[in-house]
Structure 1
Amino acid sequence: YFAANERRFIVESEPAEICKYFRREHNRGFLFKVYYLDTKITLETFHALTDGTGALHFLKSIVYQYYKLRGFKINHEGKILGELPYSKKESEDNFVSNYDKDKRRNLKEVKAYHFEGEKFAHHWNLLVKAKIDSKALISLVKEKYQCTITQYVSALLAYSVFKETNDFVGHKKPFKIFIPVNLRPYFDSITLRNFSLYIKTSYPDEVTSWTFEEMLELTKEQFRDQLDKEKLHGQISSLVGFEKNPVIRALPLILKTIAFKVGYNILGASISSSSISNLGIVDLPSGLKSKIKDADFVNAGYGIAMTLISIHNKTNILLSSPLKDLSIMNHMISHLVKEGLDVTIDTNYKEVYDEIL
């Protein structure tokens, strides 16, 4: 599945649909696509191949190579991995290398609340982008709430769900947000393969009078509890232990595929309501930074997926959903405006206008 692919790669014109599903056998065996549209270069990849950090390194190398081919001479300043000597550590599977059978722990989870409502046809996803001044956002979360940006938007998403849905309270399932953690700093890793795990924030459905501040305090408490190296190590070992199970390894491929789909339903989709991923600041060489107008980071799936990325002193918050109901997104943006932030909105709403109506 992860074997080197020597086939010629084809760059394609970008389709209107974001995060459009593709089968690797229809993509010359590659697990990623590179698109172009006017002055935009887009990379889309399967999460199994890499995580957000690895994908960003790859995209930066692609863009840098594009300018080299056009004849520009730009000092990479050590910030473009494609221009640096290759290290075997960049392709290591650090899940396997950090496996410790004695650290395995029970990963059983209760099922999570899932959004209900009419969805767009053909797996279409609506995208809403909110651009905010980074300094103003950081000042708000640090001075008013003493928290991080990721903690703040996690609580905001949960609070918006509480305020805008009529089926969450008493649903008998908690609203759970899965938040990927870049494991490289915890385990001294430079791999470009997927090396992230999820922590989660969970909000019980039996509480009937949440305030935003209460949800934020619960969020901060859960972050403190779960961002612990030993607990993360236990998660790694448990997940790899499933892969190393001799029964699973002995199964034919068709049965193995079924087994991993069952595992995904147990440890993935059924136990998560939404996801939030913050890729942080895009670090570019000075000669390349002036040529880049903006950067987006988009995820798609069930419910509402939120992603964040910062560039040129602006933070882009992107919300995607297959659902036609915009009330939760609208509540989040209205809350940001009420906090005194200047918010610039962009969306693919026009592309799905007929679908929405």
Structure 2
Amino acid sequence: MKDNFKSNWYPLDNAGKLYPSIMSWRVSTLFRISVTLTETVDKDILQNALSKIINRFPYFQVNLRPGLFWYYFDYTENIPKVEEEIYYPCMCLKLKKKNQFPFRVLYYNKKISVEFSHSITDGTGGIIFLQSLLKEYFKEKNIFSSEPKNDFFNYSDYPKAEEFEDSFKKHYNKNIPVPNKLPKAFHFPVNLENKGVYHIVTGIIPVRDILSISKKFNVTLTEFLIAVYFETILDYIEILKIEHPNLKLNPIVLNVPVNLRNLYNSSTLRNFFTTVTPNIDPRLSKYSFEEILAYVHNYMNYKVNRRFIDQYISKNIKSELSILNRITPLFIKNLVLPFAYSRLAEGSYTSGLSNLGKISVPKELEPYIERFEAYPPPSEGNKIKIVTISYKDNLYITFGKLTTDKNIERIFFSKLKKMGLNIKIETNDTF
């Protein structure tokens, strides 16, 4: 760290600053990326692999520390320890505890999982870390003798400054206006599960088949899934109306993260994403699926470009640099931000859908890896979220839920089955 950076501490990036103050049992801020191997995980080899690669990621080899106005990350020479998984996924990480890393590496039978707090990185950073860990793990097992090709970087090199940068601030333009405020969103009227419990439902679908259907509609896979999710929630609302004739409705607003690295030519491994918010108002009569698809396709084409993304970056940086944020002590932020996040952030969304895309590994490792999957961070305000990821022949669509209600995922997967898709359902609960 000292060889490459000016100091052994650094501030949280613009997206990460909020998370330590809002963390709780139900809002853990933890997302997960998992890999299932073809054989049982060797704990000792996994620990050796982690110990060897962590120095290549000094921006992750840190502990959270409280400052006067904001939290910051402090570099540590300590090495994280792998842990056997025994709890529900993505549950509370005591990030503020002394010597606690902002991530953890878990193993169970054939599965290796990394869980990162969003305070330190996003899905792209998490995937690259897991890919690196896998490479070193199999190298320790003598699966290959030479370096696999097409790596993200050479792990024997020193970290590059661009991996460490806060790309939000780099691409901030103070002259760009902020976007308009979102309307208050519809929320699922379902009961919260007990604290510490997180339900996971994953649908496994042949990726070629679902891509074929998306292509027939002339939309991307992400746009297709967003449209199916909108129609799912609209159908769910019709069920609710029967039981609650006076049900109060608001627009359905989806939080859809967008990886900004390609748009801005960034190589940062810290957070660099924003969210776009397609929305449909259920009070405006019925929608056909084709209408929803056309809206989503046009919205994503319109919004996912630098002209509009610049506005979101401008909004977030201006908020961070405001006089109020700069002079408010951290202990007050810890009291106020959870409430503000619940009302102003989660209150603006019905749910979230994130597509992490296609994940790959060196060809030499493919025979030893069965699958990848990802879990969204639990959210008290958005009790149900979706994350998708694909590997080789399959797409993995995962619902993360803080409720026992099963209506949403049942409607969603039923729609896909009616389109002729074969779906295998897996869950840590009854379905």
Question: So what's the TM-score if we normalise by structure 1?
Answer: 0.92
Do the aligned partners of 1:79 and 1:283 also contact (CA within 8 Å) in 2? Answer: no
Q: Distance in 2 between matches of 1:81 and 1:291?
A: 22
Match of 1:226 in 2: 303
3-state secondary structure, aligned to 1:83 = coil
Please identify, of 66-75 and 284-293, the stretch whose mean Cα deviation from structure 2 is larger: 66-75
Match of 1:304 in 2: 384
Give deviations 1:77-111, integer Å, cap 9, x for gaps: 13244626321100100001111110131452221
The runs of at least 4 aligned residues of structure 1 exceeding 6 Å deviation read none
Q: Distance in 1 between matches of 2:95 and 2:268?
A: 23
Match of 1:53 in 2: 124
Match of 1:119 in 2: 192
Match of 1:164 in 2: 236
Match of 2:415 in 1: 335
More helix by share: 1
Q: What is the alpha-carbon root mean square deviation over aligned residues?
A: 2.0
Match of 2:16 in 1: none
Please identify, of 114-123 and 199-208, the stretch whose mean Cα deviation from structure 2 is larger: 114-123
Match of 1:105 in 2: 178
Q: Distance in 1 between matches of 2:396 and 2:347?
A: 28
Name which of 223, 239, 248 aligns with 2:316: 239
Amino acid paired to 1:131:
I
Q: Distance in 1 between matches of 2:179 and 2:94?
A: 33
3-state secondary structure, aligned to 1:296 = strand
Q: Distance in 2 between matches of 1:323 and 1:212?
A: 27
Give deviations 1:289-319, integer Å, cap 9, x for gaps: 2211110111032332111111122111111
Name which of 195, 206, 209 aligns with 1:133: 206
Q: Cα offset for 1:9?
A: 1.2
Match of 1:78 in 2: 150
3-state secondary structure, aligned to 1:179 = strand
Q: Distance in 2 between matches of 1:215 and 1:37?
A: 41
Amino acid paired to 2:396:
N
Match of 1:349 in 2: 429
Do the aligned partners of 2:192 and 2:383 also contact (CA within 8 Å) in 1? Answer: no
Percent of aligned pairs with the same residue?
Answer: 26
Amino acid paired to 1:112:
A
Q: Distance in 1 between matches of 2:215 and 2:179?
A: 35
Name which of 217, 221, 233 aligns with 1:149: 221
Q: Distance in 2 between matches of 1:308 and 1:190?
A: 22
Give deviations 1:225-263, integer Å, cap 9, x for gaps: 211211101110110111111331122211233454455
Match of 1:323 in 2: 403
Q: Distance in 2 between matches of 1:324 and 1:221?
A: 34
Amino acid paired to 1:77:
K
Match of 1:63 in 2: 134
Name which of 345, 364, 372 aligns with 1:295: 372
Summarize the Cα distance change of 1:84–1:149 in structure 2 as closer, same or farther, 3 Å threshold: farther
Match of 2:166 in 1: 93
Amino acid paired to 2:81:
I
Question: So what's the TM-score if we normalise by structure 2?
Answer: 0.77
Please identify, of 175-184 and 79-88, the stretch whose mean Cα deviation from structure 2 is larger: 79-88
Matches within 5 A, 1:261-276: 261=338, 263-265=340-342, 267-276=344-353
